[in-house]
Amino acid sequence: MSENELIKLDGLEVDKYSDDDFDAAQSSAQYFPRVQLLTSNSAACKSGDFPTNHYALVNDSNNQDLGKSVDVAVITWRPKALETGDQVISSYEPSSDEFQRIQGKSFESNSGCMFGPEFLVWIPQAKKFATFFMGTKSSRREAPNVKARLKNAATLSSRKIETKQYTWFAPACTACTTPLEVPGKEELIAAIEQFNNPPKPTLEGVDDKADGERAR
């Protein structure tokens, strides 16, 4: 017990539950947290609250710093179209009118719409499942490298992209050489089932940029 604690109970153990129990109680069971590369465009980096070009594990409004690179196990994937704004809408059916509407709008400037593959990953560092959405033009180019690591370990980092007008950072993926521990089969199956059966209609909270960049 810290000497600065207000309530002193002479060593009596009153914290019956674990940190994992707390995480389960305060987070939504419907949604996984997400892995996101936060770049200089993100509100958290602009305010100085989060390091630029670091990966975050985002759960509601909480950003856990995972570092400039993070090792993950890539489990499976699904297509996703995402519209942000006053109401955040997700669609996972590429043939649906909603998915195609969002996909079409994504090519308009500042539309708040994105589409691309979304991966289910396991993060040993945080001991959590999370999603990793690659919904911008730059991240979609890198998505095949993540897909190539399905059922294997990968290291997510970032790469600098430069044009005559702009410079920005986008996700990068390479093979992971560090041995990773993954959950047991039953836990993996439960996570995959949840991932493959998102709630409908799907409304979720997002940062101002899906992976720390505009539609580049």
DSSP for the chain reads --TT-S---TT-----S-HHHHHHHHS-SSS--EEEEE-TTSHHHHTTSS-TTEEEEEETTEEEEEESSEEEEEEEEEEEEEE-SSS-EEE--TTSHHHHHHHHHTTSTT--EEEEEEEEEEETTTTEEEEEE--SHHHHHHHHHHHTTTTEEEEEEEEEEE-SS-EEEEEEEEE--S------HHHHHHHHHHHHS--SSEE----SSSSSSS--
Q: Per-residue confidence at 61, pLDDT binned at 50, 70, 90?
A: confident
Q: What is the mean pLDDT of residues 37-60?
A: 88
- Minimum mean pLDDT range among 21-25, 82-86, 163-167, 197-201: 21-25
Q: What is the mean pLDDT of residues 117-127?
A: 97
- Per the model's pLDDT, the better-predicted residue between 121 and 10 turns out to be 121
- Per the model's pLDDT, the better-predicted residue between 196 and 166 turns out to be 196
- Per the model's pLDDT, the better-predicted residue between 192 and 41 turns out to be 192
Q: Per-residue confidence at 25, pLDDT binned at 50, 70, 90?
A: low
What percentage of residues in the chain have a pLDDT greater than 90?
Answer: 61
Residue 44 has pLDDT above 50, yes or no: yes
Q: What is the mean pLDDT of residues 136-155?
A: 96
pTM of the model: 0.81
Domain ranges of the chain: 30-203
Residue 18 has pLDDT above 80, yes or no: no
Q: What is the mean pLDDT of residues 51-77?
A: 93
